[in-house]
């Protein structure tokens, strides 16, 4: 797994959240791409074995959590 590239993805997710923090809507194409991150990253783990595969699956879970934390957080009280 390319840790530097995943670090760039983390930064991009945080930056997207900052850019759209005051917006009531998000571009549909971006939402589609963000929604696909988990499955795209996770499915690539099947090309690897052992610790590398587990690290990729962890990265998929982390990317998904970051999207919900930084870009599309739940409204207060939910």
Domain ranges across the chain: 1-6+36-72
pTM above the 0.85 mark? no
Q: Tell me the pLDDT tens digit for each residue of 12-61.
A: 999 998 988 888 888 888 888 888 999 999 999 999 999 999 999 999 99
Contacts 24+ apart (CB under 8 A), 61-68: 62/10, 63/9, 63/10, 63/13, 63/37, 63/38, 64/37, 64/38, 66/10, 66/13, 66/14, 67/13, 67/34, 67/35, 67/37
Q: What is the reported pLDDT for 21?
A: 84
Dihedral (Cα; 8, 48, 32, 78), 10-degree rounding: -80
């Amino acid at each position: 797994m390319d840790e530097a590239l995943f670090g760039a993805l983390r930064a991009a997710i945080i930056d997207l959240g900052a850019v759209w923090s005051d917006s009531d809507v998000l571009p549909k194409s971006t939402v589609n791409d963000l929604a696909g991150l988990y499955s795209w990253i996770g499915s690539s783990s099947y090309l690897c074995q052992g610790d590398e595969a587990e690290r990729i699956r962890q990265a998929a879970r982390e990317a998904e959590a970051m999207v919900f934390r930084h870009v599309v957080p739940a409204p207060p009280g939910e």
